């Protein structure tokens, strides 16, 4: 059903909702709790034991994410991007998106490098991980260890999102594309702050010259 490629490792989701991994297991990134490499795809037991059916996976440089059909997000790997704020050798549910005071069901997830993002069923954007290029949209370039809601989208319901090391693009249900991060690859002009060599879009900004086909949430 889905494939995600990280740095030296691969994640696969089957039609039955099982998640397999293979490749290099630096920091136990394969999710099996060990540093052993896997030449052939091996099912991740920690996800199987949740009893959930998984529908999507995402992979960064040293972290991985798996999305369950019920909207639960599981993460493991690098402490800065897996969503737990600490190194996690086997998948576990991301607590920042669930608990007694919050229950954000995720519908879309993406990851690259050391950054991650998720769009909830309410159409809200959460980001976390590295923010060297202001690509998380929180107005600062400091890392965010756990998922944090991005403000400044004007209450728009999001239908798509993609994050990279340097920039992030999201689209709302009206087809408006919003930009974050290093301005050069965003097709949007920005003036560098004094003392900065590059120009950054530090909070969500619509790209006036770009529209996509109107999207509706699943």
Confidence (pLDDT) at 102: 61
pLDDT at 16: 96
Do the beta carbons of residue 168 and residue 135 sit within 8 Å? yes
Residues of the chain with pLDDT below 70 are 99-103, 189-197, 214-218
Q: What is the pTM of this model?
A: 0.92
Task: Please state the domain extents for the chain.
Answer: 1-93, 95-218
Report pLDDT for 26.
86
Beta strands in the chain (DSSP E): 2-5, 9-13, 19-23, 38-43, 54-59, 63-68, 73-77, 88-93, 106-112, 115-120, 125-129, 144-149, 158-163, 167-172, 176-182, 200-211
What confidence score (pLDDT) does residue 195 get? 61
Q: Quick one: pLDDT at residue 157?
A: 94
Check residue 186 and give its pLDDT.
80
**Which pLDDT score, from 0 to 100, does residue 98 have?**
77
49: Cβ contacts below 8 Å, ≥ 6 apart: none
Length of the chain measured in residues: 218
């Amino acid at each position: 059903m889905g494939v995600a490629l990280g740095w030296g490792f691969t994640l696969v989701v089957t039609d039955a909702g099982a998640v397999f991994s293979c490749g290099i297991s630096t920091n136990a990134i394969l999710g099996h709790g060990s540093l052993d490499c896997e030449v052939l795809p091996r099912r991740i037991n920690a996800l199987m034991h949740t009893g959930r059916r998984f529908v999507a996976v995402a992979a960064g440089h040293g972290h991985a994410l798996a999305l369950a059909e019920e909207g639960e997000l599981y993460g493991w790997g690098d402490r800065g991007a897996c969503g737990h704020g600490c190194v996690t050798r086997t998948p576990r549910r991301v607590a920042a998106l669930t608990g007694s005071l919050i229950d954000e069901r995720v519908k879309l997830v993406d990851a690259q490098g050391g950054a991650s993002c998720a769009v909830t069923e309410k159409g809200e954007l959460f980001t976390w991980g590295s923010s060297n290029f202001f690509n998380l949209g929180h107005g600062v370039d400091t890392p965010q260890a756990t998922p944090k809601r991005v403000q400044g989208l004007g209450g728009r319901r999001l239908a798509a999102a993609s994050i990279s090391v340097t920039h992030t693009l999201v689209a709302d249900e009206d087809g408006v594309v919003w930009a974050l991060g290093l301005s050069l690859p965003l097709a949007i002009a920005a003036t560098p702050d004094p003392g900065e060599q590059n120009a950054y879009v530090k909070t969500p900004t619509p790209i006036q010259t770009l529209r996509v086909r109107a999207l509706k949430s699943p």
